[in-house]
Amino acid sequence: MRAVWRQTDASLLSPLPYRCDRRYLARMPVSMTVPDVPDDVAAELATRAARAGQPLQEYLRGQLVALARRPSPDSLWDRVQHRVLITGSRLSGEAILEVRDADRR
């Protein structure tokens, strides 16, 4: 299988303001194909979808939506660095672990 993105309007390639393109694309249906999914992975995803009582396509859509709504590791790290820069926080690793483990005692 291979990734396929359908775009039916050549105007998507024109230099319109980003805001306009985004609104237009929000209404466009997207079709995806994922290439070279190992058989064991496909079987596991099908099993998880069945356990959730969903067709595989619906299950995968939900997983993709959840994934896209979480910050990426790079984005999260950027936020942490920005917060440290703004607050001037300088905690040692030991201090962080001590606070974390205080609730576990």
For residue 58, which phi and psi values (nearest 5 degrees)?
-65, -40
* Residue bearing the bigger pLDDT, 59 or 30: 59
Residue 15: pLDDT above 60? no
Distance CA 10, CA 7 (A): 8
Instruction: Please report which residue ranges of 28-91 form alpha helices under DSSP H.
Output: 39-51, 56-69, 73-87
Shortest CA distance to 41 belongs to which of 1, 80, 92, 87? Answer: 1
Q: Are 32 and 67 in contact (CB under 8 A)?
A: no
- For residue range 66-98, list pLDDT tens digits in order: 999 999 999 999 998 898 889 887 888 888 899
Question: Cα 76 to chain center, whole Å?
Answer: 12
So what's the pLDDT on residue 80?
Answer: 87
The tally of CA atoms less than 13 A away on the side-chain side of residue 16 is: 13
As given in the structure block, the two tokens for residue 42 are 């496909």
